[in-house]
């Protein structure tokens, strides 16, 4: 990392500025807006729960109490560990295979001709409808759940990688050739970094789809993990805990996707730190 | 690129100062789709000189330069560099791109060292070389900046430093100043003259600006409208030893500009 040069860009926030300007800086920070809108949503939730709009709709505070209970007795952690196994496995497979296939299709017209139509259809089709078929083919175990995650996550990863590769500036590739880069050097040092923002956009969408996939699988195939927590607490009418389970998986998926973004910046786009 | 491995560096003994280091033999280029860009170009580029291809936009200047660079195949004809037929890019040629072609994710230092990086030169060694060329083009202190932090003129200096860093005998520049504002462009033209005087390399320069061509060139090749042929070759004999501003007031400079304008005029109707 070129630390020396980035200093003058990162340091001003630390300087002893007057309190009014630092307040303004906080107010204009993009994170502030996110927290404010998130906070407003929670207030609205609390209010709606107190009306109440339905007996089956707990307030935000009740839900948090339910969350603390489940965190305290270990049931939440246990459920997450169970859910994470097929989620991570399916996501890893989707990323490796999806980016690989997308690259292959982006670099060779023949493989795009061969494979392209499958993924174009897959991306548009409501693939969750295939879950019963997967259960029929692979049983109700881990395999069916991993497959569910894959069919949800892979198409968008493949298609984004494909168009990312296609969108590499022609002149950068030409530059690589002019300076005697080999085919593999051009792919790893020019095409991949140039495509990485769009590939990672695909990974974020893919990860979001993977979370949808795993929750669907856990609700539809056999209740396990978070899906089990949700359906169990629904069946015993413990709505705060049911909502707490839903809340926890949503928060987890948002944080997970946020992390992916960090990984991208660190690995491929150092210039984003500098500005 | 397998093709590039076949291209051998120029053999120093055979090419005397002033003889052709690059020869273009009856090059024709018709793009797929039927656009005939070049219709039989034959040209010599003398070693150690700056030769400019000058012609109206769309006449095929970029096409010819990319064929010489080995980036684009010709439909027929051949290009010789140091006496050998070009089949692809080679270490004796480097290129400065019209749109800079800098990697936005790489610092100035890595961009400048990139040609050496692709050739497998050790990191410490290539960075030492790059630092020298960055200073030479006037960007000392900007080594760790990224392209988006630089102005257009500075970005093109990075492009030039990258081409200098691989130490090729021939440097090709495709309208290097066209994306740069007027003041920066003049300053850059002046600096370029200084660099050329010190570098002892052969420059192939492309522009559509008559003033720019006369200001920087030893030889100017006028290309006609598409499909393009060589119409005239002009050698403005300017005294470049004095101050760079003075050249623009030199009667020889003004005459050359006027002469080229007269010969280009006939293509306008
Ligand atoms: N890839 C291409 N396919 C078809 N026609 C092209 C292509 N590139 C350039 N041309 C055409 O060839 C002609 C010469 O282009 P170019 O060499 O870029 O001109 P210049 O650099 O002199 O402005 C133009 O008419 C242009 O439209
Ligand atoms: Mg051009």
Residue A148 or residue B7, greater confidence: A148
CA distance A195 to chain B (A): 11
Give CA–CA dist B56/B39, Å, rounded: 16
| Token output for B8 | 């051998």
User: Among all ligands shown, which has an atom nearest to the Cα of B53?
Assistant: 1
| Cis-peptide, bond into residue B219, ω within 30° of zero | no
A189/B144 touch (CB, cutoff 8 Å), yes or no: no
Q: How confident is the model at residue B267 (pLDDT cuts 50, 70, 90)?
A: low
Q: Which of B4, B99, B115 sits opposite A171 (nearest CB)?
A: B99
A65 touches chain B (CB under 8 A): no
Q: Tell me whether residues A181 and B1 touch, CB distance under 8 A.
A: yes
Which residue spans within chain B are E strands per DSSP? 20-30, 36-46, 50-54, 76-81, 84-85, 93-96, 170-174, 202-207, 219-223, 230-234
Probe site for chain B from A9, A178, A197 (most B CB atoms < 10 A): A178
Residues in A closer than 8 angstroms to B170, CB to CB, are none
- Cα–Cα distance between B114 and A257 in angstroms, integer? 33
Stronger pLDDT, B182 or B210, i.e. the higher one: B210
Any CB–CB contact under 8 A between A268 and chain B? Answer: yes
Q: Which residues of B210-235 are buried (b: 16+ CB within 10 A; e: fewer)?
A: bbbbbbbbbbbbbbbebbbbbbeebe
B117 touches chain A (CB under 8 A): yes
Which residues on chain B are in Cβ contact (under 8 Å) with A190?
Answer: 103
Within chain A, which residues score under 50 in pLDDT? 1-17, 275
pLDDT for residue A175: 97
Q: Is the CB of B226 under 6 A from ligand 1?
A: yes
Strand partners for B50: B203
Report pLDDT digits (tens) over B64-86: 999 999 999 999 999 999 989 99
B166 has a chain A CB within 8 A of its CB: yes
Q: Do B105 and A271 touch (CB under 8 A)?
A: yes
**pLDDT confidence of residue A21:** 66
> What is the rounded distance in angstroms from the CA atom of residue B27 to the CA atom of residue B74?
7
| DSSP state string for A186-233 | HIIIIIHHHHHHHHHHHHHHHHHHHHHHHHHHHHHT---HHHHHHHHH
Contact B10, B201 (CB under 8 A): no
**Tokens, residue B58:** 């769309």
Residue from the list A177, A178, A268 with its beta carbon closest to the beta carbon of B105? A268
Checking if the pLDDT of B266 tops 80, the result is no
* Residues contacting A216, CB < 8 A, separation 6+: A128, A131, A148, A152
pLDDT at A149: 93
Q: Does B4 touch chain A (CB under 8 A)?
A: yes
pLDDT value of residue B180: 80
Q: Which residue of A has its CA nearest to B165?
A: A179
> Å from A177 to nearest chain B CA?
7
Distances (CA, A) of A250 to A98, A101, A208, A243, A247: 24, 29, 10, 11, 5
Picking from A185, A268, A275, the nearest residue to B149 by CB comes out as: A275
Helix (H, G, I), strand (E, B) or coil at B88: coil
Query: Is residue B72 helix, strand or coil?
Result: coil
Gap from CA of B94 to ligand 2 centroid (Å): 17
DSSP per position, chain A: --HHHHHHHHSGGGS---HHHHHHHHHHSHHHHHHHHHHHHHHHHHHHHHTTS-TT---HHHHHHHHHHHHHTTHHHHHHHHHHHHHHHHHHHHHHHHHHHHHHHHH-HHHHHHHHHHHHHHHHS-GGGGHHHHHHHHTTSHHHHHHHHHHHHHHHHHHHHHHHHHTS-HHHHHHHHHTT--HHHHIIIIIHHHHHHHHHHHHHHHHHHHHHHHHHHHHHT---HHHHHHHHHHHTT-HHHHHHHHHHHHHHHHHHHHHHHHHHHHHT-THHHH-
Q: pLDDT, tens digit, for every residue of B25-41?
A: 999 999 998 889 998 89
B239 Cα to the center of ligand 2, angstroms: 29
pLDDT of residue B15: 39
Residue B225 is encoded by which pair of tokens? Answer: 């409208």
CA dihedral A185, A188, A192, A194 (to 10 degrees): -40
pLDDT for res B178:
83
Q: Is the ipTM reported for this complex over the cut 0.95?
A: no
B202 lines ligand 1 (CB under 6 A): no
Supply the residue whose CA is at minimum distance from atom 21 of ligand 1: B62
- The residue length of chain A stands at 275
The per-residue pLDDT for range B93-108, each reduced to its tens digit, is: 999 999 999 999 999 9
Question: Residue A155 pairs with which residues in a beta bridge?
Answer: none
Q: What is the pTM of this model?
A: 0.81
- Residue B207, beta-bridge partner list: B54
Does the distance separating the beta carbons of B104 and A177 come in below 8 Å? no
Minimal Cβ distance to B146: which of A178, A194, A274? A274
- At B158 the pLDDT is 96
Q: Does A15 touch chain B (CB under 8 A)?
A: no
Q: What is d(CA B229, CA B39) in angstroms, rounded to the nearest whole number? A: 6
> Which of B33, B36, B59, B267 to probe ligand 1 with, by most ligand atoms within 8 A of CB?
B59
CB contact under 8 A, B1 and A177: yes
**Looking at the partner chain, which of B114, B115, B144 has a beta carbon nearest the beta carbon of A5?**
B144
**What does the DSSP assignment read for B204-228?**
EEEES-HHHHHHH-SEEEEE-SSSB
Q: Report yes or no: A19 at the B interface, CB cutoff 8 Å.
A: no
- Is any atom of ligand 1 closer than 6 Å to the C-beta of B73? no
B29 lines ligand 1 (CB under 6 A): no
Residue nearest atom 18 in ligand 1 by C-alpha distance: B62
């Amino acid at each position: 990392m070129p630390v020396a040069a980035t200093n003058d860009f990162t340091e001003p926030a630390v300087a002893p500025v007057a309190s009014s300007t630092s307040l303004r800086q906080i107010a204009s920070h993009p994170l502030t807006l996110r927290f404010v809108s998130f906070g407003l949503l929670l207030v609205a939730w609390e209010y709606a729960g107190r009306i109440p709009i339905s007996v089956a709709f707990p307030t935000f505070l009740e839900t948090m109490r339910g969350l603390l209970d489940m965190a305290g007795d270990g049931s939440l952690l246990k459920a997450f560990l169970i859910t994470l196994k097929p989620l991570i496995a399916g996501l890893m497979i989707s990323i490796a295979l999806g980016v690989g296939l997308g690259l292959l299709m982006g670099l060779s017209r023949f493989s795009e001709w061969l494979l392209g139509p499958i993924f174009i259809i897959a991306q548009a089709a409501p693939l969750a409808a295939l879950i019963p078929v997967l259960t029929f083919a692979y049983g109700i175990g881990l395999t069916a759940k991993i497959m569910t995650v894959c069919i949800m996550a892979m198409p968008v990863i493949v298609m984004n990688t494909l168009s990312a590769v296609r969108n590499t500036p022609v002149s950068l590739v030409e530059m690589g050739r002019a300076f005697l880069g080999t085919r593999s050097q051009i792919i790893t040092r020019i095409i991949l970094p140039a495509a990485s923002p769009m590939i990672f956009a695909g990974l974020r969408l893919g990860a979001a789809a993977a979370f949808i996939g795993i929750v669907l699988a856990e609700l539809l195939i056999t209740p396990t993990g978070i899906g089990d927590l949700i359906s169990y607490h629904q069946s015993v009418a413990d709505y705060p805990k049911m909502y707490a389970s839903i809340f926890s998986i949503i928060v987890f998926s948002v944080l997970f996707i946020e992390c992916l973004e960090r990984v991208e910046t660190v690995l491929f786009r150092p210039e984003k730190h500098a500005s | 690129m397998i093709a590039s491995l076949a291209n051998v560096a120029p053999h120093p003994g055979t090419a005397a100062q002033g003889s052709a280091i690059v020869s273009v033999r009856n090059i024709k280029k018709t793009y797929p789709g039927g656009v005939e860009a070049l219709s039989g170009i034959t040209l010599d580029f003398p070693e150690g000189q700056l030769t400019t291809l000058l012609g109206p936009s769309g006449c095929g200047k970029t096409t010819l330069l990319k064929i010489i660079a080995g980036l684009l195949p010709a439909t027929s004809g051949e290009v010789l560099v140091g006496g050998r037929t070009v089949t692809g890019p080679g270490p004796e040629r480097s290129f400065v791109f019209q749109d800079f072609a800098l990697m936005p994710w790489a610092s100035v230092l890595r961009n400048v060292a990139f040609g050496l990086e692709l050739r497998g030169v050790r990191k410490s060694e290539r960075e030492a070389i790059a630092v020298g060329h960055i200073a030479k083009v006037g960007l000392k202190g900007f080594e760790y900046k990224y392209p988006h932090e630089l102005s257009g003129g500075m970005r093109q200096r990075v492009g030039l430093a990258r081409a200098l860093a691989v130490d090729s005998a021939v440097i090709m520049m495709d309208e290097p100043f066209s994306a740069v504002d007027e003041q920066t462009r003049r300053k850059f033209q002046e600096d370029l003259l200084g660099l050329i005087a010190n570098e002892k390399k052969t420059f192939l320069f492309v522009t559509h600006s008559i003033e720019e061509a006369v200001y920087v060139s030893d030889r100017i090749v006028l290309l006609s409208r598409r499909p393009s042929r060589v119409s005239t070759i002009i050698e403005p004999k300017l005294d470049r030893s004095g101050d760079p501003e003075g050249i623009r007031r030199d009667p020889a400079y003004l005459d050359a500009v006027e002469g080229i304008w007269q010969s280009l005029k006939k293509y306008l109707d």
